[in-house]
Amino acid sequence: MAVSNNLAKSQQKTSLTAYLSNDAVKNQINSIVGGKNGTRFISSIISAVNANASLQECTNASILSAALLGESLNLSPSPQLGQYYMVPFKNNNAGVKVAQFQLGYKGYIQLAI
């Protein structure tokens, strides 16, 4: 006899692509970054997250927050450029992984210029 518990079902995380494709999120990004740059910003975030498997486990809001901090400094999130990194950390209080902004040495050089 199998017992099913509806409360035990885990919530499925929305993919980052679906999260960023949401109209409310897209409009918010476009208002912050700008219309033409908003599309570039979204595609660069998706590219950076797809390159790092452990970053895919982070919450979508923390990834967006770290990327917006880098965008405010006019830096690129591309790991190949090394201007800044979105580094996954485990939040023990909430029990989830979050992405944090980490400035790379090439980012320091870019900011100095």
Predicted local distance difference test score (pLDDT) of residue 3: 55
Q: How many Å apart are CA 111 and CA 106, to the nearest integer?
A: 9
What is the pTM assigned to this prediction?
Answer: 0.80
Predicted local distance difference test score (pLDDT) of residue 7: 44
Q: Which residue has the higher pLDDT, 8 or 81?
A: 81
Q: How many Å apart are CA 49 and CA 110, to the nearest integer?
A: 22
Residues in CB range of 84: below 8 A, 6 or more apart: 70, 73, 75, 76, 77, 101, 102, 103, 104, 107
Q: For 13-32, what is the mean pLDDT?
A: 84
What are 26-69's pLDDT values in tens digits?
A: 888 888 887 778 888 888 899 889 888 889 899 999 999 999 99
- Closest Cα to residue 78, out of 88, 67, 69, 89? 67
